[in-house]
Structure formats: C-alpha cells, structure tokens
Structure 1
C-alpha cells in the first residue's frame, strides 16, 4: 500500500496506508468559529483565516470518502443548562461578553453548511480543547479499529493541536494537513505546525493537502 509524502518522514512510517484503519478528523468547523457573528469573531479575531480552509477541508472529505477513509467531526460546546461549565469558565466568558455562545443550544453550534456531513459520519461533541477529554472519542476509534488519524480543522494552535497531542500520547499514528488547518493568529498557526515535526516527529507528521490527495488517489488506483 502507498504512503503519503510528509515531514519529517512519510505517513505512515511503515509505508502502509490502509483506509480501513484511517480516519479524517475534522475539528470544530462550526458557525461559532467560522461565521462573522460567532464566538471567534466576538473574541476579536478575523474568521476569514478560518474560512479560507473550507474548500480544502471539503475536498479532503470528498477524497477520503471515495478512498474509504472514515470521517469524524468534532463540535465544541457546553450543555444548554451549562451544568458542565465551571465557575472559572463562566467568569471568563462574562469578562468578554460571551454569554450564550459555544452552547449546544446556540445558533453557532452546528457545523458550517459548506461541508458535506453525512449520516455515516461520526460526530463527537466535546467541552474541552481535546476531543479525548470527557468524551467517547477514544472508545469509538478503538471500536472501529482506527489506528491512523489525519487532522484538519480549527484552530491549529488550540483544539487541533491539543487533540493531536493526546492522540500521539495514546499511540495513534498522526498526520496534520497543514493547509487544512487554521488559526486566527498567524504566528500561533505557524508555530503549531512547526512543533509537529520537532524531535523527529514527536507529534507525528506534516503534509499539505496536495500530498494527501495524491496519496489517496494512489491508494485507490492500487486497489483496482
């Protein structure tokens, strides 16, 4: 089976890319992060940086589906009654005038309509930056036999990187798709991508979407 050209080494490291054991993780592509009225914009960030990756993520989703790679979306948000929100988080929101956002009952919670979310996709709802914290994400991955993860979404320096780090610590093989991730802070985005490859891939590997798409097409061709 083919591999995807990546840094600091090709993905997977053993050269065997298997769609049955691979999933594309699409982190928090929600209205609250990508709309001009949501949480991210109200924090003072320009969501256009995040919106710029929408076509890339959409193309990845389509290519992964065609290749038989599972699609997993995450959504960030607290319960409508805020019973899972700590006093610190409530205070932090009040300081920024952010009451009523990033709630599962709020208009900004859904995934953006530009992405094709299907019934067969897996959706993991979370309250923390990592999709592993207080969720059934790891159980789902183990139950589905998924050992290799492709990372996309937002934001690169927060939820993407936190989930990536937790995945690596749990011995999943990980590849971050550089141009399918985004942050409102350009410096933080570049730093987060750089950190993936330090110490010979301590947080996995890094590639652009062109390399991933080429690897997926080669995978399909080899299967026919």
Structure 2
C-alpha cells in the first residue's frame, strides 16, 4: 500500500502493478516553455519545470515495478476543425490567432525532452482539459485492465483536476501525487490539492512522491 491522506492507497490494500498506471498530464513545451501558451498568459512556467525531476523518478520507478506510464498532450488540429467558435474567440482574445501554439502540428505540442517517453508508453491526445472527453482514454484503460491511477503533471487546478474528477466518476481508484503536480497559480494549486481530501477523499487520496516511490519499490520487490 501507499501511505496517503485521508486513507492509504488502495483502500482494500491490494496494490497491483498490472492494474495501475501513472498518468503524466500535459508536460509539453507549450506549457513549460518560456515562450509557450502558459507564459503568454502571464504565468511563470518555473513551478511546472520544477516538478520534472520528481516526475522522472516516478516514471523510472513505475517501469521498474511494472506499472504502465500514460502521457497526455493537449492541442488542436492544424486546420482548427475541432475548435469551437467559443474556443476560437478565446484564442483571439489571448492573442494566439495566427500562431501555432496549442496546435498538434507545432513543436510546442511535444512533451519536453526531460521526460522519457518510450514506445511502450501510452500517449493520449486531447483537445479538452479532461483526458476522458472526446478521446479513447477510458477504452484504453478498460482494455488494459487498469483500475488504479496515479496522477502527475500540469496544471494541478485545471487539466490534472479535471481528469481526476472524470476518473473518479468512472470509478477508477485515484491517487494524486502532490509534489509531482504543478500550477502557475500557487493558491489554485494548494486549493486543488486540498479538494482531493475533502469529504473523506471525495476525489481519492493525496500522497507525496516519497510515499509513492516507497510503495512502488515494494511492488518491484514482490515482482
């Protein structure tokens, strides 16, 4: 088990590598680059970049323990055919019209090189904040027999939390790794982490990477 709040994970004490996946959300150039989408909105990407070593350690530990690694990427088609009028309006309002930011055809769509993405990893591309919306994410999880999800990535208050809520509503068992998630807004980050634990774990449980790494190491020894 992994020591977590408000209860240890998983609740029944049955941590199974074959049924568990680490979800690494949107660690892309567009969010972490000083010239990307996030920076253009006036946010400092430094807190996002600060979690990269921790996420890398988690990825390595998951591979050692036999836990699947799933990456998500957010962006739109190059022809904008999947972008609604409201989304286009927001894009213009943000001064992004005519740029390739958040387009799947752009270099900014790619995951940053500090994160080791391997052929055996699963990559889910999305247009929405939540990874379940208009994607095959749930089908992939069900097909792989995955029932337990460990959450990392950015941003804690938007894409991480939206995907976490979607997963909980689909009865996946969820753990959010506090120091492996980040946001450009410190208040929103702290609030999003706090919300995981309210009502005795309404959105699963919260743990730090040290506890998760210890649990993964135990899984590896058992394997």
Counterpart position of 1:67? 65
Provide the TM-score with structure 2 as the length reference. Answer: 0.98
Task: Check if 1:116 corresponds to 2:116.
Answer: yes
C-alpha RMSD of the superposition: 0.6
In structure 1, the partner of 2:5 is: 7
- Decide which of 73, 86, 94 is 2:84's aligned counterpart: 86
1:1-224 to 2 correspondences below 5 Å: 3-99=1-97, 100=99, 101-223=101-223
Could you give the per-residue CA deviations for residues 18-63 of structure 1, whole angstroms, max 9, x where no partner exists?
Answer: 0000000000000000010110001110000100000000000000
Following TM superposition, by how much is the alpha carbon of 1:220 offset from its aligned partner in structure 2, in angstroms? 1.5
Kindly tell me the number of residue pairs found equivalent between the two proteins: 221
Q: Name structure 2 gaps, 5 residues minimum.
A: none
Q: Structure 1-normalised TM-score?
A: 0.98
Q: Secondary structure at the match of 1:108?
A: helix
What displacement does 1:145 show? 0.2
TM superposition shift of 1:222: 2.5
CA distance in 1, matches of 2:174, 2:194: 15
Q: What's the CA shift for 1:96?
A: 1.4
Greater than 3 Å deviation, 4+ residue runs: none
SS of the aligned residue for 1:66 comes to: helix
